[in-house]
Amino acid sequence: MTAQALLRTLPPIMMQSVRRTYSLDVAAPLLRTQGYINGRWTSAASLFPVLDPATGQEIAQVSDCGPGEAKRAVDAAYEAFQSWKQFTAKERSVLLRKWYELMTQHKEDLAKLITFESGKPLAEALGEIGYSASFLEWFSEEARRVYGDVVPSPFKDRKMLLLKQPVGVAAVITPWNFPSAMITRKVAAALAAGCTVVIKPAEDTPLSALALAELAEQAGIPAGVVNVVPCSRENTPAVGQVLCTDPLVGKISFTGSTATGKVLLKMAADTVKKASMELGGHAPFIVFDSADLDLAVKGAMASKFRNSGQTCVCSNRFLVQSGVHDQFLQKVGEAMDRELRIGHGIEPTTTQGPLINPRAAEKVAHQISDAVSLGAKVLRGGSRLDGSYVEPTLLADVNTSMLCTREETFGPVMPVIRFDTEAEAVAIANASNVGLAGYFFSQDVSQIWRVAEALEVGMVGVNEGLLSCPEGAFGGYKQSGLGREGSKYGIEEYLEVKYMCFGGLVP
Binding site for ligand NAP (CB under 6 A): 173-178, 182, 200, 202-203, 233, 236-237, 240, 255-257, 260, 263-264, 278-281, 312, 408, 436, 474, 476, 481
Closest contact distance (angstroms) between CB of 211 and ligand NAP is 17
Cβ distance to ligand NAP smaller for residue 16 or 236: 236
Closest contact distance (angstroms) between CB of 200 and ligand NAP is 6
Cβ distance to ligand NAP smaller for residue 52 or 422: 52
CA atoms within 13 A on the CB side of 367: 27
Cβ distance to ligand NAP smaller for residue 267 or 287: 267
For residues 359-397, one letter each, b for 16 or more C-beta atoms within 10 angstroms of the residue's C-beta and e for the rest, the string is ebbebbbebbeebeeeebebbbbbebbbbbbbbbbbbbb
Using a 10 angstrom Cβ sphere, with 0-12 exposed, 13-18 middle and 19 or more buried, the burial of residue 22 is middle
Cβ distance to ligand NAP smaller for residue 87 or 131: 131
Q: Which of 331, 317, 350, 333 is nearest to 436 (CA)?
A: 317
Closest contact distance (angstroms) between CB of 306 and ligand NAP is 12
Q: What is the DSSP string of 326-364?
A: HHHHHHHHHHHHHH--BS-TTSTT-SB---SSHHHHHHH
Going across the sheet that includes 159-166, the strands are 149-151, 159-166, 495-502
Please state the separation of Cα 129 from the chain's center in Å.
13
Fill in the amino acid letter for 406.
R
DSSP H or E stretch at residue 477: strand 477-478
The one catalytic residue in 278, 391, 422, 485 is: 278
The one catalytic residue in 65, 312, 314, 404 is: 312
Cβ distance to ligand NAP smaller for residue 17 or 308: 308
What is the 3-class SS of 381-441, one letter each residue? Answer: CCCECCCCCECCEEEECCCCCCHHHCCCCCCCEEEEEEECCHHHHHHHHHCCCEECEEEEE
Q: Which of 108, 109, 121, 114 is nearest to 26 (CA)?
A: 109
176 in helix, strand or coil?
coil
Closest contact distance (angstroms) between CB of 174 and ligand NAP is 6
DSSP H or E stretch at residue 466: none
Cβ distance to ligand NAP smaller for residue 260 or 303: 260
309 in helix, strand or coil?
helix
Q: Is 278 a catalytic residue?
A: yes
Cβ distance to ligand NAP smaller for residue 333 or 472: 472
Closest contact distance (angstroms) between CB of 49 and ligand NAP is 13
Closest contact distance (angstroms) between CB of 366 and ligand NAP is 16
Closest contact distance (angstroms) between CB of 433 and ligand NAP is 13
Q: Which of 182, 142, 186, 179 is nearest to 275 (CA)?
A: 186
Q: Is 108 a catalytic residue?
A: no
Count of CB atoms situated within 10 Å of the CB of 12: 9
Helix axes 206-219, 181-193, angle to 10 degrees: 40
Closest contact distance (angstroms) between CB of 244 and ligand NAP is 7
CA atoms within 13 A on the CB side of 446: 1
Residues identified as active-site = 278, 312
